Structure 1
Amino acid sequence: MIFNRLFCNRGILFQNFRQHGWIGILYLITLLFSLPLHIGTEYRDLPQQITSLFQANGEVQILFAITFPVAAGIFLFRYVQSGAPSDLFHSLPLRRKHLLTVNLLTGFIMILLPIWITTAITGWVWAALDQPAFIFGGSSIWMWGLSMSIYSLFMFMLTVVVGMCIGQSVLQGLTVYALLLLPVVVWFIFSLHLQHYLLGYPYDEIGRNAEKISLVLRMASISGAPVIGWELIIYSILTLLFIPLSYVFYAKRQVESATQAVTFTLVKPIFRFGLMFTLVLIGGAYFTIIAPRGSSGWGIFGYILGGIVGYIGAEMIIRKTWLIWSSKLLPKFALYGIVAGLILYVPVANWNGYVIRVPELNKVNSIKLGGERYTYTNGVSLKVDDGPFYLSDSEYMKAVIALHQKIVDSDLSLLDDPINPGMRNDEYVFINYKLDNGKVMKRKYYIPEAEFRQELMTLKQTQDYKRVAYDTYKLEEDALSIGIRSTISPYLKVYISNPQQVREFKELLKQDIMDQTYEEQRSPWQSFAIAEMNQDSSSNDPFQPKEMWNFEIKPSYDRVLDWLKENKLYEQLEFSVDEVASAQFVKQEVNSPGNPQLLYPQSEYVDGNATGNKQVATKNKKIISQLLKRQRSGYQTERDTIYQIKLNVTQGENIYMILKEEDLTEEMKAILAGQ
């Protein structure tokens, strides 16, 4: 009786549902529309196999899960944020723990009841459908209900705890979402700071990991990234932790703190420094990005400006006035500034040894080059096991360590802006060391190829490097068929399905790839064709019946090209000169120091005369034949002269390509000079 009368006071319960029950009703309606109605009315000719119900309109479901519980937390505890209601509720013959319990109970009912009603109706729809658009198991339904319950309760309890520390409802809501985004913003921008001032910092995978630590960003990835156990466990632990915290904070909160921005004196310096440091990072990142190349002063100015704006903004929010000047203002700002400066400086200081650290060969188990790989299976993006990519061949590891040591010993400057590397730094190196102690050491660099040519050549000519870099290990696996399409025209294609021919082609292609010289690997010329290897699929999704791997067929792959000619396939991929009526040339000048431009075939330069330069046309079959045999791949540069070229074909789509001025043959130069 005492529990029902005090902790579950019926009067307050009924009042809460009468006043705020609309939140639960709206939550139920939106969930019903976003899941069971969507599943029941969706039509597909071929049903989609899914492993999670979040793959069916999951973005909308998460949007509701991070908004309605927050609204419930704000409205149910509105009485602690407003003066008169706060005095009224706290004058009732109930202790604070009684008020908190009954309001928490109300919130739990308004959140969980709509979720589990939706779960039950979804199960009924799943059982009743004869021709469903989505195929999934019964466990997926219960997993959806459990996940949505955990997400929603986490958002509700976070809102309640924040409300105990914040005295204004609007600021409470803003703070909830700020806290969800703050770890991502700080991590992202601080990583940007580390990359700019710490040579070799592996700024990688930020986007994917950020989506996992913020429910706000989870909306963008929930349909493609599965909900995994540790994610739910962490949110469950935080939710359970917030419950006793809310009782502790509420017990210590003063009634007079209603309408104040921050209710606890201890929270004020945390709020002040948090806002200030966030703006320090944002200001530094912004001015670093817009700074002219080679300038380091802009970033420092951005840090200082961000700190001033952040500190002043925090003071005005806390005091609820812009009249914040006092004798203590500058000493406090100086103290916060020193702390922020130390946080920024210590990780990038030279004395910590990060930049010059190169592991010894006898302390390295294996090495992988490159970042993480992902595959798309059953509509879900999954990380590929990187075990096979870690190699332990001594020649390969010595070459990697020698290159790393040369980078460390060089005068490679951070002022070249590794955040937006220009054309001087034209080689990408991402090293993953698996050490004897079980740790993984990562380093990432953009380096000038000319300065490290010898070390890069030694590394890239090793068999292990080629096997992983060009995925030749896949050529050792079984394949259903090989599809080959020309890079000049997508309409020129052939298929190899004979098992013997498939084996022969794979073996020859592997030999050509493994025999590449360093110069052939860096060749600027576009490939002759692309080979697509089709394998049996490990996916249950009928929309993904096969796994496909693409391999370039370069002009230097003599074995493969000879084999195609012997099997009467080469001529089916070769574009005939007779099908080209004429060729048009337009000069394009690039002169943008500090702002590298990506150059690639663009139709508007010829068809729309984007440069305004005079066009030169020719019907010379020799020149057209030369163009069909060599065309440059896209590349970046700050200063260069290229020619945008259009081949006018008699049937089908026209062909666009580019050549540098130095690529022109004598015949082409004569035609252009004559005009």
Structure 2
Amino acid sequence: MRSKLFSFNRGIFIQDLRSVGWISIVYFLTLLFTGPLDLYNIITEENFIEEKSQSLFDLSRDIYTIAIFTVPVLLGLLLFRYMQTKLSADYIHSLPIKRESLYNQRIITGVVLLILPVFLTGIVFYVIGVNYKLMYITTPAHIWSWIGLTILFLLFVFMATVFVGIFTGITMVQGALTYILFLLPVGITSIVAINAASLIKGIALDYYLDGTLTRDALPFARVGLLGQGTVSPTVLITYSSLVVIFYVIGLIAYKKRAIEMSSRAISFQFFQPVFKYGVMACFTLLGGAYFGLSQNNKLGWFLFGYVIGSIVGYVVAEVVLQKTWRIGFRWKGYVGFAVVAALFFAIISLDILGIEKKVPDLKNVKKVYVGEDLYTLKAIDNGDEAIGDDRSMVAYTDPTILKHIEQLHKKLIKEASLQRGHGVFDTIGIAYELKGGGRIVRLYNIPRHLFDEDMKPLVDSREYKEKMYPVYALSDKSISTIRSIEIQSNLVEKRPVYITERTKIEEFVHLLQEEIQKQKATDVLTDKVDLSSINISITDRNQLPMTLEVYYKEIEKWLQKEGLADQALTTATDFESATILPKYDQDVRESSYNMSRAEFNEYLAEQPKVKTTRDEKQIQKLLENSEYDVYDGRDYQTIVFLPKKAGQTIQVYDVPKESMKKLIK
């Protein structure tokens, strides 16, 4: 007896099996000769070792991912191909079968052909697991997880393909639009955010366009990461809901779709303007982002990109809709779009909504994060506030410091340049954690050293020192757990020095804490070369690495008293000479890693106005004032340090010209 909900037509079903059944067979063979075969090859290897971190998704991951995004698409294209040609559409819809039944029968046929190979492969996994006792990877929980997630994404791709096919009358366009649909959420979000961040100072583009967006909203990435950690309930609910939404909207649209719309690019008349202006909007934003970013965020280039992008978008949309290159230019539609787009960009660029100038009231702020970037915030969002050695941002709670941050933020709004620099504080991120929940995040790119004075109160604060130098916050009890302290030169090859005696460890750490306490913000904000490094070992996994700064003079005296200075420190005695070039020299930097000592001396001999010193006092001064390769608007002179021991790396750094006059007389 036929169901009233689903009228099964045996003839159509047999015809579908003949035309698309081979896809299911090929998919099963693909799964069989990748996953199970890959697993069998692994476990029959002579040196096979079980790895508990392994997953069934790790087996032939690339082929697995490609199959999920090709097999359902191909199946959706062929099962509903009859809609895209007038003769077949007329014939099928002339049969005494309701459209709803026809739609459901083909959907069920596609679903069965997709999930059957997955279940059969799951059985094969189970058989292999039982025979070889692979409980680490082929437990029922592992297999059901693999089956369930595979089916979920197969159905998502299949229903997306069917959904798109209802709204187009050309098979090639259906395939192209299906893949565009997968990219659309991330693509639209990205280009809107890029344009907004370029027009409004302070938009934290890196924060909002992080890996989480790509991982969860981009199906290709989401499937590629299956098995690497658990899939969140939000992701499962989202993709399951999309399967249902695609099915329901597809069914409603299919029942209303006119047969004569086959072979049309867009099969619904009302949807054609949506498609046209949607394409124009995407190309407009893309053009603005491309030309604006490539020309250092200049407003004129953004406007140029918007115009070019909108024209290209208009041409592409019309060519697709009219299926010919011979298109006319409909001025009214284009002008209307241009007016709406101009109003939109005016609202954004003029900051009518007050986003750029917004500074929250400190009464509503719980704490403020300030630092070079915003990656720390993402670690906090993921439940890992400690984040190991990542010290890119510091959380401030002191009311006095919060007031300084507020003043800094207002100054950034007023004066910050959009030009991207290079250095420690070229990028300044500010994130307000509000008492009522929520977060206001801003990111500014500014010329180096422009805000050093404003940063001094922050760098001198207790919160900064405890975050950037974890050793500073160690209590006497914590110090007693330290196993050893390693000190090593960074510029020349020396054996590291180890401090293991308990009393010496306590002396050194207390002295180090005193040095951190009295260090000046001007020293911290200068990117001096790290001559030596310290690594404090509490356990094998708990390490506190830090730099032995050149201005830690009391530490230096202590090391000299203990007879460790020559081995632990990088000093002038390690170098034969220091050659001062008259200006900043990028060529000598790039060639220093590949040249022999003789070639280097020959190169320096050819340079005019170079000055070489062998005076240890002058070499020491140059070492302590050398900075890394950073451009901050000041004039630099490049210094070449030649090690005494042959075979050691030639060191090339820079000293500001203003400092050079005081160092070398």
Aligned counterpart, 2:17: 17
Cα distance in 2 for residues equivalent to 1:191 and 1:610: 51
Structure 1 residue 603 corresponds to structure 2 residue 582: no
Structure 1 residue 528 corresponds to structure 2 residue 517: no
Cα distance in 2 for residues equivalent to 1:505 and 1:55: 48
User: Could you tell which deviates more after superposition, 25-34 or 271-280?
Assistant: 25-34
Aligned counterpart, 2:79: 76
TM-score (norm: length of structure 2): 0.84
Does the residue aligned with 2:640 lie in a helix, a strand or coil? strand
Residue 257 (structure 2) aligned to one of 228, 246, 253: 253
User: Following superposition of structure 1 onto structure 2, how do residues 485-496 of structure 1 map, counting pairs within 5 Å?
Assistant: 485-489=488-492, 492-495=495-498
On the 8 A contact 1:600/1:635 being kept in 2, the answer is no
Aligned counterpart, 2:355: 354
On the 8 A contact 1:426/1:449 being kept in 2, the answer is yes
User: Following superposition of structure 1 onto structure 2, how do residues 51-66 of structure 1 map, counting pairs within 5 Å?
Assistant: 53-54=56-57, 58-66=61-69
Shift of 1:289: 1.9
Structure 1 residue 149 corresponds to structure 2 residue 151: yes
Shift of 1:290: 2.4
Structure 1 residue 396 corresponds to structure 2 residue 401: yes
Aligned counterpart, 1:338: 339
Does the residue aligned with 2:467 lie in a helix, a strand or coil? helix
Cα distance change of structure 1 residues 612 and 487 upon mapping to structure 2, 3 Å threshold? closer
Aligned counterpart, 1:406: 411
On the 8 A contact 2:24/2:113 being kept in 1, the answer is yes
Unmatched tracts of structure 1, length 5 or more = 537-544, 591-596, 671-675
Cα distance in 2 for residues equivalent to 1:454 and 1:663: 19
Does the residue aligned with 1:636 lie in a helix, a strand or coil? coil
Aligned counterpart, 2:453: 454
Cα distance change of structure 1 residues 660 and 28 upon mapping to structure 2, 3 Å threshold? farther
Cα distance change of structure 1 residues 36 and 456 upon mapping to structure 2, 3 Å threshold? same
Aligned counterpart, 2:567: 572
Amino acid at match of 2:523: E
Does the residue aligned with 1:94 lie in a helix, a strand or coil? coil
Aligned counterpart, 2:184: 182
Structure 1 residue 620 corresponds to structure 2 residue 614: yes
- In terms of fraction of residues, the more strand-rich structure is 1
Amino acid at match of 2:219: L
Cα distance in 2 for residues equivalent to 1:50 and 1:496: 37
Aligned counterpart, 1:552: 547
Residues 352-406 of structure 1, C-alpha deviations (whole Å, 9 max, x = no match): 2222221222121221224133999xxxx96623799644221221221121123
Residues 417-439 of structure 1, C-alpha deviations (whole Å, 9 max, x = no match): 34xx1369953221111223322
Does the residue aligned with 1:550 lie in a helix, a strand or coil? strand
Amino acid at match of 1:68: V
Shift of 1:278: 0.8
Does the residue aligned with 1:373 lie in a helix, a strand or coil? helix
Aligned counterpart, 1:673: none
Shift of 1:300: 0.3
Structure 1 residue 122 corresponds to structure 2 residue 125: yes
On the 8 A contact 1:211/1:220 being kept in 2, the answer is no
Residues 255-312 of structure 1, C-alpha deviations (whole Å, 9 max, x = no match): 2212210001122112112211111011101111222x57421110110110111012
Cα distance in 2 for residues equivalent to 1:598 and 1:201: 37
Cα distance change of structure 1 residues 629 and 266 upon mapping to structure 2, 3 Å threshold? same
Residues 443-489 of structure 1, C-alpha deviations (whole Å, 9 max, x = no match): 11123455433321122211112323445588566666554443214
Cα distance change of structure 1 residues 443 and 168 upon mapping to structure 2, 3 Å threshold? same
Identity rate, percent: 26
Tell me the C-alpha RMSD between the 2 structures. Answer: 4.0
Shift of 1:62: 2.8
Cα distance in 2 for residues equivalent to 1:398 and 1:262: 57
On the 8 A contact 1:601/1:634 being kept in 2, the answer is no
Does the residue aligned with 2:94 lie in a helix, a strand or coil? coil
Does the residue aligned with 1:317 lie in a helix, a strand or coil? helix
Cα distance in 2 for residues equivalent to 1:482 and 1:496: 5
Amino acid at match of 1:273: Y
Residue 242 (structure 1) aligned to one of 240, 246, 249: 246
Unmatched tracts of structure 2, length 5 or more = 388-392
Amino acid at match of 2:358: R
Aligned counterpart, 1:466: 465
Cα distance change of structure 1 residues 392 and 660 upon mapping to structure 2, 3 Å threshold? closer
Residues 118-151 of structure 1, C-alpha deviations (whole Å, 9 max, x = no match): 334334445555799x779763443333222212
Cα distance change of structure 1 residues 557 and 582 upon mapping to structure 2, 3 Å threshold? closer
Cα distance change of structure 1 residues 368 and 109 upon mapping to structure 2, 3 Å threshold? same
- The higher relative CO (CA closer than 8 Å, separation ≥ 6) is in 1
Aligned counterpart, 1:516: 519
Does the residue aligned with 2:269 lie in a helix, a strand or coil? coil
Does the residue aligned with 1:232 lie in a helix, a strand or coil? helix
User: Following superposition of structure 1 onto structure 2, how do residues 359-374 of structure 1 map, counting pairs within 5 Å?
Assistant: 359-370=360-371, 371-373=374-376
On the 8 A contact 1:119/1:141 being kept in 2, the answer is yes
On the 8 A contact 2:497/2:568 being kept in 1, the answer is yes
On the 8 A contact 2:159/2:247 being kept in 1, the answer is yes
Cα distance in 1 for residues equivalent to 2:139 and 2:405: 47
Shift of 1:492: 3.7
Cα distance change of structure 1 residues 669 and 528 upon mapping to structure 2, 3 Å threshold? closer
Cα distance change of structure 1 residues 517 and 230 upon mapping to structure 2, 3 Å threshold? same
Aligned residues: 642
Does the residue aligned with 1:204 lie in a helix, a strand or coil? helix
Cα distance change of structure 1 residues 144 and 467 upon mapping to structure 2, 3 Å threshold? farther
Cα distance change of structure 1 residues 243 and 323 upon mapping to structure 2, 3 Å threshold? same
On the 8 A contact 1:51/1:140 being kept in 2, the answer is no
Aligned counterpart, 2:70: 67
User: Following superposition of structure 1 onto structure 2, how do residues 465-484 of structure 1 map, counting pairs within 5 Å?
Assistant: 465-471=464-470, 482-484=485-487
Aligned counterpart, 1:594: none
Cα distance change of structure 1 residues 322 and 664 upon mapping to structure 2, 3 Å threshold? same
Aligned counterpart, 2:390: none
Shift of 1:156: 0.8
Cα distance change of structure 1 residues 375 and 395 upon mapping to structure 2, 3 Å threshold? closer
Cα distance change of structure 1 residues 203 and 22 upon mapping to structure 2, 3 Å threshold? same
Cα distance in 2 for residues equivalent to 1:224 and 1:423: 35
Residue 103 (structure 2) aligned to one of 97, 100, 105: 100
Residue 282 (structure 1) aligned to one of 283, 286, 291: 286
Shift of 1:165: 0.4
Cα distance change of structure 1 residues 664 and 449 upon mapping to structure 2, 3 Å threshold? closer
Cα distance in 2 for residues equivalent to 1:20 and 1:234: 29
Shift of 1:178: 1.0
Does the residue aligned with 1:50 lie in a helix, a strand or coil? coil
On the 8 A contact 1:582/1:617 being kept in 2, the answer is no
